[in-house]
Each structure stands twice: as structure tokens, then as C-alpha cells.
Structure 1
Amino acid sequence: MGRHDDLDRFYALLDELAERVGGPRKLKNCTGYMDWPDRGIYLFLEPGETRTPSDQPRVTRIGTHAISAGSKTSLWDRLKQHYGTGSASSNHPHGGNHRGSVYRKRVGEALIEKHALHDDYPSWDDRWSSLSRERDDVRGEEYIMERRVSAYIRDQPFLWLDVDDEPSKESDRRYIEENALALLSNFEKESIDPRTTDWLGRHSRSERIRQSGLWNVNHVDEAYDPDFLDRLARAVDETEPV
């Protein structure tokens, strides 16, 4: 079997997953009070991005958490970082911290590039440790963009997988994530399920994002192990609605 066939199987498994959990969710409709699995994988399906030649939603971001030994981060902890701040959060409601979420950082970068807002957000790529200005000043300066990023990400449908193994670099969560990214990526490969011309990721500063069609940069240049689809299938069978 080749990559085309493996992609078809991958998306057929996502269809099964969607049926099992009652369809994708959106972060804007989610809370930490929902019965999320402690550990798992999330897959974002961007509106308007579909497979060719069908209308099946295309995955644009995959992530996991707690792959370092001893890590206590939960699946919702990671999703909450992407979600950002709530409506009653201090002085920056519906904002967020893109320095704590690579997904937020990359979306913000693309919005800045698309709308030529570099002068408005000169510190977007800087780490806190490298900034000489007060953090509160930077947060205030970046607040409008953080809100735009929150609005964008919270409207992305996503699915999740319950993969509750111990944090480790050899975890099944890492194995599934890495191989799924390698399978889906078009970076320096045949372009399968080409990205729409207005996909925001086309404005990314990262060539890997622009070419791969994913909001990920790691593992998009690697080969995949087709056997990961068998482990993915077991994860689908083990996942319940929240």
C-alpha cells in the first residue's frame, strides 16, 4: 500500500472516531469540566480545508502532551493553552499567551504576515527572557492579536484520541503523532489533498508549514511507519465521548 491508500485509511479512521464521539468539538464550546481523557492526542480540522476531491475535512494540526518522563500535563491542559484566556480573565479577556502555545504563535505569525502588521507586533517572536520591556506592556501591545488568534483557533473543529500511556519519549501518543504528521505532510513530497489558496498557513514564515499544509514544523520532513495506523485504530476503539 502507498501513501494514497494510507491516507484513505487514516481519514476513514477519523470518520469512525467522529461517529464514536458524536462529532468534532470546537474549543469555544468546551470547558475543563467535560470528561476529557487524562492523556491523548488532538487533531484540528480547519473549516474550508477539505480532501480532494471530497468534502471530507482535512487535518491541519496534530498535537499531544506529556511525552517527557514525569510530566503531569493533561490533554485539557494543552487544549486550554491553545484556547487562551476566558471572558473574566484579568485585564485580557479572550486573549492568550502565544509564548505558551506554539499553535497560537504560528497562527499569529501568519496573521501578522498576511496583514503586514510587523510594526504593530515587533516582539511577537521574542521569548519573555529576551525582552527588556515590562511584560505587562508587551501583553497590552499584543492583546488585540492574541484575541484574533483566540477567535481563529476556538472556531476550529477538532477530534481527540484517548491514549492513556505513561509519559515517555517512547509513548504511543508520540508514536501516533509523529507518524500521522509524516503521513499527512506534503513537505518535499507529492502534494496530496492540496491546500486551498486562502488557507492562512500559506502566509506562514515557516516553509515547512507552507509546504506541509500543517500548523506543525516537527516530523513533517520524515518518513512514516504504516504500522502506526493499527495503533491508531485501537485508539479510536478506546475513545469515548466527553
Structure 2
Amino acid sequence: MSRRDDLDRFYDLLGKVAARVGGPRRLKRCTGYMDWPDRGVYFFLEPGESRSESDQSRVTRVGTHAVSTGSGTSLWDRLKQHYGTGSGSSDHPHGGNHRGSVYRKRVGEAIIAKYDLHEEYPAWDDRWSSIDRDRSAVRDEEYILERRVSTYIREQPFLWVDVDDEPSADSDRAYIEQNAIALLSNVAEETVDPRADGWLGKYSRSREIRESGLWNVNHVEDEYDPAFLDVFADAVKRTTPP
């Protein structure tokens, strides 16, 4: 089987997930009160962009959670980190913490580059441990950009599969995530499903993001194991609406 054949199968399985859960969701309409699986793998899609030879929305980020032994992070915990803060946050409603979400950090970097906002957000790439100013002042400074990141991510449709295995680097969740990224990535591979010129990720300072067409950096240059699609197919069968 060719990579294109495996991509076709991958997207066919995503279509089956969508049918099982009633279609993709958007974070702006999701809450922790929904019946999410405890553990799983999620796939964000790009609004308005489809695969080169079909109308299937293309995947732009793959992620999971709790792959360290002993971790108790749930699927919703991770999605909530990407979502950011809600309307009830008294200090920074609809903002977020990009230092707790690599996805938010990467989206913010691309917005900064696209609109030349480096002077407005000089500490965006810094860890808290390297910032010697008052944290509340930094949060206030970065609030407008955090809101822009929230708006962008909450509009991304996403799907997920239920993979309720124990936290481990050898978990099925890690296996699906790593191989899905490697399969979807266009780094050092024939470009399949090219990204639209206006895709925000093309402004990323990360070569891996620009070339892969994904908001992922890890595993974009890996070889994928086609057998992961069988594990993915089993996960699809277990997935139910939240």
C-alpha cells in the first residue's frame, strides 16, 4: 500500500468517527459536563480547507494526553487547556495560558509573525522561570493575544477516538498519535493534500510546522507504521457521542 492509500484509509476512518459521534465538534460549544471518554486521541481540522481530491476536511493537529506513567490527565483536561479560560474568569475571560498548551503557543507565534507583533509580545516564547517581571503584569500584557488564540482554536472542528488504556509512552494512544502525525506530515515526503496559502501555520517560525502542514513538531519526520491503522480502526468502533 502507498502512503496515499494509507491516507485515504485514515480519512475514511475519520469519516466513520464523524458518523458515530454526530459530526465534528467545536470547542466553543463544548463543556466538561459532556460525556467525554476518560482517555483518547483528538484530531483538529481546518475550517474551509479540504483534501486535494475530496471534500474531506484536512487534519491540522493530532494530540493525546497522559502518556507519562502515573498521569491522571483526562481527554477533556487536555482539550480545556487548548480552550483556555471561560466567560466566568474575572481577570481574563476567554483568554488562556499558552505556557500550558503547546498548541496555543504555536498558534500565538504564528499570529505574532503574520502581523509583526514581536514588540507587543516580547515574552511569548519565555518560560515562567525565565521571566523576572511580575507574572500578573505579563498575563495582562499577553491577554489580547491569548483571546485571539482562543478565538482561532475554538473555531477548529475536531474529532476524537476513545482509547482508554493506561498512561504510558507505549500506550495505544501514543502509538496512534505518533503514527498519525508521521503519516499526515509532508516533511521530506511527496506533498499530499497541500495546505492553502492562507493557512496560519505557514507563518510559523517552525520549519516542521510550515513543511508538515500540521500544528505538530514531534514525529513529523518519523516513518509511520501502517499497522497503526488497524489499532485506530478498533478505537473508532469503541467511540460514542459525548
Once residues 45 and 88 of structure 1 are traced to their aligned partners in structure 2, the CA distance between those partners, rounded to angstroms, is 27
Cross-structure match for 1:19: 19
Residue type of the alignment partner of 1:127: R
Once residues 171 and 54 of structure 2 are traced to their aligned partners in structure 1, the CA distance between those partners, rounded to angstroms, is 33
Cross-structure match for 2:168: 168
Cross-structure match for 1:97: 97
Indicate whether 1:159 and 2:159 are aligned. yes
Deviation digits for residues 135-174 of structure 1, max 9, x if unmatched? 0000000000000000000000000110000001110000
Once residues 111 and 37 of structure 1 are traced to their aligned partners in structure 2, the CA distance between those partners, rounded to angstroms, is 32
Residue type of the alignment partner of 1:109: E
Cross-structure match for 2:144: 144
Cross-structure match for 1:220: 220
The 5-angstrom pairing of residues 40-79 of structure 1 reads 40-79=40-79
Deviation digits for residues 204-232 of structure 1, max 9, x if unmatched? 01000000000000000000000000000
| Deviation, structure 1 residue 54 | 1.8
Once residues 54 and 68 of structure 2 are traced to their aligned partners in structure 1, the CA distance between those partners, rounded to angstroms, is 38
Aligned to 2:38, what secondary structure does the other structure show? coil
Residue type of the alignment partner of 2:171: S
Once residues 114 and 48 of structure 1 are traced to their aligned partners in structure 2, the CA distance between those partners, rounded to angstroms, is 19
Cross-structure match for 2:33: 33
Cross-structure match for 1:181: 181
Once residues 138 and 39 of structure 2 are traced to their aligned partners in structure 1, the CA distance between those partners, rounded to angstroms, is 33
Aligned to 1:208, what secondary structure does the other structure show? helix
Using structure 1 for the length normalisation, give the TM-score.
0.99
Note the aligned Cα RMSD (angstroms).
0.5
% of aligned pairs identical?
72
Once residues 5 and 83 of structure 1 are traced to their aligned partners in structure 2, the CA distance between those partners, rounded to angstroms, is 33
Once residues 49 and 117 of structure 2 are traced to their aligned partners in structure 1, the CA distance between those partners, rounded to angstroms, is 25
Using structure 2 for the length normalisation, give the TM-score.
0.99
Once residues 228 and 174 of structure 1 are traced to their aligned partners in structure 2, the CA distance between those partners, rounded to angstroms, is 10
Once residues 185 and 230 of structure 2 are traced to their aligned partners in structure 1, the CA distance between those partners, rounded to angstroms, is 19
Aligned to 1:43, what secondary structure does the other structure show? strand
Task: Could you tell me which runs of 5 or more consecutive residues in structure 1 were left unpaired when the two chains were aligned.
Answer: none
Cross-structure match for 2:230: 230
Aligned to 1:220, what secondary structure does the other structure show? coil
Aligned to 2:132, what secondary structure does the other structure show? coil
Indicate whether 1:4 and 2:4 are aligned. yes
Residue type of the alignment partner of 2:94: H
Cross-structure match for 1:84: 84
Once residues 229 and 188 of structure 2 are traced to their aligned partners in structure 1, the CA distance between those partners, rounded to angstroms, is 22
| Deviation, structure 1 residue 53 | 2.1
The size of the alignment, in residue pairs, is: 242
| Deviation, structure 1 residue 48 | 1.9
Aligned to 2:165, what secondary structure does the other structure show? coil
Aligned to 1:192, what secondary structure does the other structure show? coil
Residue type of the alignment partner of 1:8: D
| Deviation, structure 1 residue 90 | 2.4
| Deviation, structure 1 residue 55 | 1.8
Deviation digits for residues 56-102 of structure 1, max 9, x if unmatched? 10000000000000000000000000000000112100000000000
| Deviation, structure 1 residue 50 | 1.1
Aligned to 1:35, what secondary structure does the other structure show? coil
Once residues 149 and 179 of structure 1 are traced to their aligned partners in structure 2, the CA distance between those partners, rounded to angstroms, is 27
Indicate whether 1:201 and 2:192 are aligned. no
